[in-house]
């Protein structure tokens, strides 16, 4: 095991603000490379939006992932843990899901189409043929095309993009030839699929970015491909088990964690960060890595005079992802649903317009339900179920949002429970509730998320690559970002990629050889052999 340097009384080399997935990954990479690291976390536990929520019921405890509920591209995290002298499979029990998820594809004036998705591509082809004969073979072509597309784009996803010049490498120019920046994801899929519900089945993944497939750039066709190529995984104990494993490894490497320690501000001397202020006290560090919501953190922690183009007005005018209304239900009895079930509104385009443009709640909202206790008995008391429900909603940006959550929360709760009974087929849901917590966009905003936009800055063409917060903030020294607000974007796998980029750049400034680049770390980026047990649910 590689040990880090001792902490001097002047403070460690690096302060990391926030123990979310990006901060944890950066901490252990930097420590494994020989840096001394302190992590400051406002919450009493690690994880950020990936922390665990526990509710008490009369039969015992119900456990939930607060945010992300599934795991993709495990090879990216395996690279990080290997650099720290560890292995993902030694730390976390991952189970591959089959079906990956059940889709309930709404149609006007008809019952939804039910589609169980699987990594068995020929079985998936048959299931799509049953809906639309043309679209089964089209699916195999879509997968093949996106396999080479992701391969071409991998250097772009793994590289810092600080300006247009960074796009002008041979690899990135080659990736650019695969992209159609004028085309939305949904329009791109029209070139493959006849059936609108099948197009929806291969574009709803834009919701992982908090965006509409009618606005999301077509390059994100790689998202559904990644699911079918590398699978969807459940970590035993929830995604938070990954966060706790990363904390354990970081501590083994000498990282110091400070909980209940919200950073009020970054201290600067001129344009050089020299530390962080926590509860009014200055903790000195040579570098500060921000793993909080990038937009809100800039406004809160960095003086406006130092931010250049990122003025308060500029930050407030940017386009943000949607928000979410969350219900965490501890239920008596089992729930007859797969691990993941996604309902797409029968008026899907209207639902998306309501969220993105009209700023109102839809009559028939799309919904996502996670039912982990069917597979993982650790999530609920014996005979109970821990049900996680997510409803995409408008964020709280003025001019975008017209929802008063003080009055709308109760009515959306009722509508959601009705949909669970009618659309998802869960009878007597109200009578089975033994524990409950709801979270609104206002609650997310109160947690330090700009406009409660849970998926960060929107991934529009004008807010991607070098247009996002830089890994090293331009015009400042010792000030860094990691997480969904920087390149390559939001979602656990790409957040881990952002941590790799930031760690490499920061190691270079510290004069350290990054542990990622040790001879034993093999980074093909395309480790198709990554395996773990498949679970039929």
Name the band, by pLDDT with cuts 50, 70 and 90, for residue 163: low
**pLDDT for residue 6 is more than 90:** no
Q: In this structure, is residue 527 part of a structural domain?
A: no
Residues 441, 471, single domain; the answer is no
- All residues at 6 or more sequence positions from 461 whose CB lies less than 8 Å from its CB, including other chains: 181, 217
Residues 184, 286, single domain; the answer is no
> For 355, which DSSP code?
I
Q: What pLDDT is stored for residue 82 in this prediction?
A: 95
- Model confidence pLDDT, tens digit, residues 364-403: 999 999 999 999 999 999 999 999 999 999 999 998 889 9
Q: Is 341 helix (H, G, I), strand (E, B) or coil?
A: strand
Q: What pLDDT is stored for residue 247 in this prediction?
A: 98
Residues 310, 364, single domain; the answer is no
SS (H, E, C) 462-499: HHCHHHCECCECCCCECEEECCCCECCCCCHHHHHHHH
Name the band, by pLDDT with cuts 50, 70 and 90, for residue 276: very high
Q: What pLDDT is stored for residue 536 in this prediction?
A: 52
Q: What pLDDT is stored for residue 220 in this prediction?
A: 85
Residues 226, 244, single domain; the answer is no
Does residue 81 contact residue 520 with C-beta atoms inside 8 Å?
no
Rounded to 5 degrees, what are φ and ψ at 38? -120, 135
Q: In this structure, is residue 1 part of a structural domain?
A: no
Mean pLDDT of 501-521: 90
**Of 37-51, 353-367, 387-401, 456-470, the least confident:** 456-470
**pLDDT for residue 169 is more than 70:** no
Q: In this structure, is residue 308 part of a structural domain?
A: yes
Residues 491, 432, single domain; the answer is no
Nearest to 321 by CA among 199, 408, 446, 444: 444
Residues 184, 260, single domain; the answer is no
**pLDDT for residue 343 is more than 60:** yes
Residues 273, 177, single domain; the answer is no
CATH assignment of the domain containing 499? 3.50.50.60
Residues 230, 351, single domain; the answer is yes
Last residue of a domain, one of 408, 426, 449: 449
Does residue 508 contact residue 255 with C-beta atoms inside 8 Å?
no
Does residue 424 contact residue 343 with C-beta atoms inside 8 Å?
yes
Q: Give the up-direction half-sphere exposure of residue 245: CA atoms within 13 A in the CB hemisphere.
A: 22
**pLDDT for residue 174 is more than 70:** no
CA triple 80-85-89, angle to 5 deg: 70
Residues 406, 423, single domain; the answer is yes
Residues 359, 425, single domain; the answer is yes
What is the domain extent for residue 167? 96-234+319-449
Q: What pLDDT is stored for residue 74 in this prediction?
A: 92
Q: How far apart (Å, rounded) are the C-alpha atoms in residues 32 and 41?
A: 20
Q: In this structure, is residue 474 part of a structural domain?
A: yes
- Model confidence pLDDT, tens digit, residues 418-443: 999 999 999 889 999 999 999 999 99
Name the band, by pLDDT with cuts 50, 70 and 90, for residue 84: very high
Distances in Å between the Cα of 90 and the Cα atoms of 242, 480, 510 are 11, 31, 31
Last residue of a domain, one of 419, 449, 479: 449
Beta bridge partners of 439: 326
Residue 11 token pair: 């403070």
CA triple 150-152-156, angle to 5 deg: 90
Q: In this structure, is residue 364 part of a structural domain?
A: yes
111 C-beta neighbours (distance < 10 Å), count: 10
Q: What pLDDT is stored for residue 176 in this prediction?
A: 55
Name the band, by pLDDT with cuts 50, 70 and 90, for residue 41: very high
Does residue 441 contact residue 325 with C-beta atoms inside 8 Å?
yes
Residues 373, 417, single domain; the answer is yes
**pLDDT for residue 534 is more than 50:** yes
Q: In this structure, is residue 532 part of a structural domain?
A: no
**pLDDT for residue 490 is more than 70:** yes
Name the band, by pLDDT with cuts 50, 70 and 90, for residue 10: low
Mean pLDDT of 263-289: 97
**pLDDT for residue 150 is more than 80:** yes
Does residue 327 contact residue 414 with C-beta atoms inside 8 Å?
no
Global pTM reads 0.92
Nearest to 37 by CA among 285, 357, 378, 403: 285
Q: In this structure, is residue 260 part of a structural domain?
A: yes
Average pLDDT for the chain: 90
Mean pLDDT of 107-114: 94
Does residue 440 contact residue 304 with C-beta atoms inside 8 Å?
no
Q: How far apart (Å, rounded) are the C-alpha atoms in residues 367 and 396?
A: 19
**Of 97-111, 140-154, 428-442, 456-470, the least confident:** 456-470
Q: In this structure, is residue 525 part of a structural domain?
A: no
**pLDDT for residue 168 is more than 80:** no
Q: How far apart (Å, rounded) are the C-alpha atoms in residues 124 and 338?
A: 17
Residues 173, 294, single domain; the answer is no
Does residue 34 contact residue 512 with C-beta atoms inside 8 Å?
yes
Does residue 199 contact residue 186 with C-beta atoms inside 8 Å?
yes
Q: What pLDDT is stored for residue 173 in this prediction?
A: 52
Q: What pLDDT is stored for residue 121 in this prediction?
A: 97
Number of structural domains, the chain? 2
CATH assignment of the domain containing 117? 3.90.660
Q: What pLDDT is stored for residue 520 in this prediction?
A: 57
Last residue of a domain, one of 424, 449, 474: 449
């Amino acid at each position: 095991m590689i040990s880090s340097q001792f902490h001097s009384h002047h403070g460690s080399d690096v302060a990391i603000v926030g123990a979310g997935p990006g901060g944890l990954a950066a901490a252990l990479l930097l420590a494994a490379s020989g840096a001394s690291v302190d992590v400051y976390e406002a919450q009493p536990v690690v994880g950020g939006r990936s922390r665990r929520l526990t509710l008490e019921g009369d039969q015992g405890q119900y456990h939930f992932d607060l945010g992300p509920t599934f795991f993709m591209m495990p090879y990216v995290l395996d690279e990080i843990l290997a650099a720290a002298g560890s292995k993902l499979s030694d730390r976390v029990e991952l189970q591959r899901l089959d079906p990956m998820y059940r889709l309930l594809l709404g149609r006007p004036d008809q019952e939804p189409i039910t589609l169980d998705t699987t990594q068995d591509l020929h079985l998936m082809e048959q299931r799509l043929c049953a809906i639309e004969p043309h679209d089964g073979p089209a699916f195999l072509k879509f997968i093949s095309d996106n396999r080479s597309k992701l391969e071409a784009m991998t250097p772009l996803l793994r590289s810092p993009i600080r300006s247009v010049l960074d796009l002008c490498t041979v690899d990135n120019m080659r990736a650019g030839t695969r992209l159609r920046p004028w085309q939305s994801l949904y329009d791109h899929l029209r070139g493959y699929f006849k059936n609108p519900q099948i197009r929806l089945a291969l574009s709803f993944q834009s919701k992982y970015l908090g965006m509409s497939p009618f606005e999301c750039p077509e390059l994100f066709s790689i998202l559904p491909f990644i699911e079918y190529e590398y699978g969807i995984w459940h970590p035993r104990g929830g995604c938070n088990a990954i966060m706790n494993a990363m904390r354990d490894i970081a501590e083994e490497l000498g990282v110091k964690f400070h909980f209940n320690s919200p950073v009020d501000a970054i201290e600067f001397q001129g344009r050089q960060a020299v530390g962080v202020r926590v509860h009014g006290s200055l903790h000195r560090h040579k570098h500060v890595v921000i793993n909080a919501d990038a937009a809100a953190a800039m406004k809160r922690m960095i003086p406006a005079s130092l931010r250049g183009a990122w003025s308060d007005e500029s930050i407030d005018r940017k386009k943000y992802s949607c928000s979410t209304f969350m219900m965490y239900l501890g239920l008596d009895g089992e729930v007859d649903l797969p691990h993941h079930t996604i309902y797409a509104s029968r008026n899907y385009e209207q639902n998306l317009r309501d969220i993105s443009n009209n700023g109102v709640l839809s009559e028939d909202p799309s919904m996502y339900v996670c039912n982990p206790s069917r597979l993982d008995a650790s999530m609920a008391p014996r005979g109970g179920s821990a049900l996680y429900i997510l409803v995409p909603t408008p964020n709280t940006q003025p001019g975008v949002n017209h929802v008063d959550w003080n009055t709308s929360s109760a009515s959306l709760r009722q509508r959601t429970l009705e949909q669970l009974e009618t659309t998802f087929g869960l009878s007597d849901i109200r009578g089975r509730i033994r524990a409950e917590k709801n979270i609104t966009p206002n609650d997310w905003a109160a947690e330090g998320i700009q406009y409660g936009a849970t998926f960060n800055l929107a991934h529009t063409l004008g807010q991607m690559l070098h247009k996002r917060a830089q890994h090293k903030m331009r015009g400042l020294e010792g000030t860094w970002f990691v997480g969904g607000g920087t390149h390559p974007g939001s979602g656990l796998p790409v957040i881990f990629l952002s941590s790799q980029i930031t760690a490499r750049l920061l190691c270079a400034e510290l004069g350290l050889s990054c542990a990622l680049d040790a001879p034993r770390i093999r980074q093909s980026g395309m480790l198709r052999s990554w395996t773990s047990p498949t679970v039929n649910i």
